[in-house]
Amino acid sequence: MSKALRLSALRGAAFFGLLAALPSFNLAHWVLNMLVFTLMYAAMSSAWNLVGGFTGYPSLGHAAFFGVGAYAVALWFQHHAIHSGYEPFVILPLVGVLAGLIGLPVAAVAMRTRADVFAIVTITLLFVAQTLAFNLHSITHGAQGLSIDPAPFSPATFERPFYYVLVGLLALAMGITYLTIKSKVGLSLASIRADEDKARGIGVRVSGLKLLTFCVSVGLTSMVGGVWAYYEGFVYPQFAFDPLITISIVLMTFLGGRGTLWGPILGAFVLELSQQNLAYRLGGSQFYLIAYALVFLLIMLLLPRGILPTIQDRLRYRRRRAGAAEGDDRPSAPAPRTAAAKVAVGGGERA
C-alpha cells in the first residue's frame, strides 16, 4: 500500500466510522433530522460532481431526477403495502435504474452540444417535469400530491433507518467517485472536460463515457429522492421538482471544490447545516431565498474554485517555496487551471 492510498483509506474509514457512530450518541431528534437532510445533499452533490465537476457539463436538471425518484417510490406504494418498513429501501436500486434509463435519451440529445446548451436542456427538463407532475392529474394527483404510509419504526429511533440508508448512498456515491478518480475513467473524463474534440481524437470514448456518467449520476440522485419521499411521507410537485434543490447541490459542489472527492461533502455539510439553522431562525420566510442567492454570488465571486482546491494550491505553493529554499526543486504538479493539469490531476486524488 502506498502512503497516499493508506492515507485516503484512513480518511474514509474515519469519516464513515464517525457517521455510523453518531446516532448512538443519543442525539436529539432535530439534530438527527438535520443530519438526514445534510446526508441527502452530500450524496446528491457527490453524484452531481461526477457530471458537473469531472466531466464539465453543468446539469441544472438533477432536481428533475430527484423528483422522479420521489414519485416512483410514492407511486409504487400507492399499490403496495408497507409491512416491515424496509420495502421502500429495497426497491431503491430499481428506482435508480429507472431514472438512469430516463436519463439516457435526455443525455444522448443534450450532450451532443456544448456545455451551456446542455444546461439549457436540463433546466428546461426540470420545469417540464414539474409542470407534468402538476398536470398529469390521473397519475400524480396534481397539486394535491401523493402520500405514503408512515414508516412503522419506533418513534425513539425513527430517523435511524433513513440515516443509515443515506450513509450507504453517500458511501456508494463517494466510492464511485473514488474509483473514477483512480481509474482510466477519471483520466478520460478530465480530458473531456479539458478539450472534448482532442479527447475524441486520441481515442477516448467520449459519447459512451458521458452517457454512462450522466446515468449513474441521475440514478444516485433519484435514489436520494426516493428516500426523501418516504421520510417526508408526502410528495408535492413544487417540492419534489424544486429548482432550489438543483441550485443547492451545484452550490455545495462549487463551495467545496468541484472535481474533488471530498469537496462536495464538505460543501454540503457547511451549507446544509447553516441553511437549516438559517431557515430555523428566519422562519419559513422568503428571506432565506435572498440569503441563499447572496451566499452563492459571493462564493462565485470570491472563491470560484472552491475551498479544497484553494487550500491545496496554497499548500503546494508553500511546499514548493520550501523546496526551492533547500535547493530541492522537484517538478511539482502544475496549478490545476491549465488543461494539462486537469488531466494530470484527474489521475491522482485531489483531496
Partner 1 sequence: MHAFIQGLILGLLTAGVYALMASGQTLIFGIMNVINLAQGAMVILSAYISYQLFKSFGIDPFLAIPIVTVGMFVIGVAVQLLFLRPLKREDRAELSLLVTFAIALLIEGIMSITWKTNYRSINTSYANSSWTVFGYQITLVRLWACVLSLVALGLLYVLLNKTRFGRAVRATVQNPESARLLGVESDRVAALGFGLGSATAAAAGSVYGLLYAFYPGSHYDLISLLLSIVVLGGLGSIGGAMVGAVVVSTSSAIVASTISPAWSAMTFFVILIVVLVVRPRGLFGSTARGAI
Binding site for partner 1 (CB under 8 A): 56, 58, 60, 109-110, 112-117, 119-121, 123-125, 127-128, 130-132, 135-136, 243-244, 247, 250-251, 254, 285-287, 289-290, 292-294, 296-297, 300-301, 304, 337
Cβ proximity to partner 1: between 119 and 212 the closer is 119
DSSP class of residue 295? H
**CB of 244 vs partner 1, minimal distance in Å:** 8
Cβ proximity to partner 1: between 33 and 310 the closer is 310
**CA-wise closest residue to 95 among 228, 232, 212, 237:** 228
Cβ proximity to partner 1: between 160 and 305 the closer is 305
**Contact residues for 202 (Cβ-Cβ < 8 A; gap 6+):** 191
The residue type of 118 is F
Q: Which residues of 208-226 are buried (b: 16+ CB within 10 A; e: fewer)?
A: ebbbbbbbbbbbbbbbbbb
DSSP class of residue 136? -
Distance CA(5)–CA(11), nearest Å, equals 10
**CB of 136 vs partner 1, minimal distance in Å:** 8
Cβ proximity to partner 1: between 75 and 295 the closer is 295
Q: Hey, what's the cell of 342?
A: 486537469
Cβ proximity to partner 1: between 41 and 254 the closer is 254
Widest distance between CA atoms in the chain: 74
**CB of 296 vs partner 1, minimal distance in Å:** 4
**CB of 104 vs partner 1, minimal distance in Å:** 14
**CB of 124 vs partner 1, minimal distance in Å:** 4
Residue tagged 502506498 (cell numbers)? 2
**CA-wise closest residue to 196 among 309, 57, 347:** 57
Let me know: does 140 contact 237? Beta carbons within 8 Å.
yes
Q: Hey, what's the cell of 81?
A: 403495502
The stretches of the chain forming alpha helices (DSSP H) are 3-21, 29-48, 62-79, 87-90, 92-110, 115-135, 137-140, 160-182, 184-194, 196-201, 206-232, 237-240, 243-256, 263-282, 287-302, 307-325, 339-347
Let me know: does 343 contact 187? Beta carbons within 8 Å.
yes
Cβ proximity to partner 1: between 113 and 277 the closer is 113
**CB of 142 vs partner 1, minimal distance in Å:** 9
**CB of 329 vs partner 1, minimal distance in Å:** 28
Cβ proximity to partner 1: between 78 and 113 the closer is 113
Let me know: does 49 contact 209? Beta carbons within 8 Å.
no
Cβ proximity to partner 1: between 170 and 249 the closer is 249
**CB of 212 vs partner 1, minimal distance in Å:** 20
DSSP class of residue 23? G
**CB of 107 vs partner 1, minimal distance in Å:** 12
- What phi and psi values does residue 146 have, to the nearest 5 degrees? -120, 150
- What phi and psi values does residue 3 have, to the nearest 5 degrees? -65, -45
Cβ proximity to partner 1: between 244 and 344 the closer is 244
